[in-house]
Each structure stands twice: as structure tokens, then as C-alpha cells.
């Protein structure tokens, strides 16, 4: 589960719509669940594109948020290490 949260952070850092916004930093802490909430909020607010790199990915709610983003016209690209090596 910790890897999923690390991957989620990578997602936050790669959402291009943030590049056009005023600089800001938001922190999510994994054990209390705020990292997941932050990732879901950020994916939900994406307007143009999301690029995600992952070693392992097993979060159904984040996957659904990515599908929902794609359905509303956001370009979503995800690269996952199939062999985890």
C-alpha cells in the first residue's frame, strides 16, 4: 500500500494542469489517508492531461478517478512495470 501512495504522489507531480497554476505545495501523509484524498482531489481537478508512472498499482478508487478523468476528456497516460523489476 505504501508503494501505491508513492505512485500517487508521482501522479500529482506529473499533472500538467498544475504547471499553469500559481505555485503551491500540498502535503498528504499516508498512514492517516490524506495522501490518497489529495491524489483523488488532484485527479478530479485535472483539465488537460495526467501522466502517471508506477512500479505497482492496486488502488481501485484511484483507477476509477483516472477512468472518470478520461471520460471527461482529460488525456490520461499510465506506465506500469508489468514485471515489477
- Higher-confidence residue of 17 and 82: namely 82
CB 37 within 8 A of CB 8: no
Domain contains 40: yes
Q: 31-59: per-residue pLDDT in tens? A: 777 888 888 998 999 999 998 888 777 88
Number of domains in the chain: 1
Burial 46-77 (b: 16+ CB within 10 A, else e): beeebebebeebebeebeebbeebeeeebebe
Domain contains 34: yes
CA dist., res. 6 & res. 53, Å (int): 10
**What percentage of the chain's residues is helix, strand, coil (to nearest 5)?**
50, 15, 35
pTM: 0.66
Range of the domain at 69: 2-80
Domain contains 48: yes
Domain contains 85: no
Tell me the mean pLDDT in the region 9-21: 56
Amino acid at each position: 500500500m505504501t508503494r501505491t501512495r508513492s505512485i500517487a504522489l508521482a501522479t500529482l507531480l506529473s499533472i500538467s494542469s498544475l504547471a499553469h497554476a500559481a505555485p503551491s505545495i500540498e502535503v498528504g501523509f499516508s498512514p492517516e489517508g490524506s495522501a490518497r484524498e489529495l491524489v483523488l482531489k488532484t485527479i478530479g481537478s485535472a483539465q488537460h492531461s495526467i501522466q502517471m508512472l508506477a512500479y505497482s498499482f492496486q488502488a481501485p478508487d484511484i483507477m476509477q478517478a483516472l477512468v472518470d478523468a478520461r471520460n471527461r476528456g482529460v488525456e490520461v497516460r499510465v506506465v506500469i512495470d508489468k514485471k515489477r523489476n
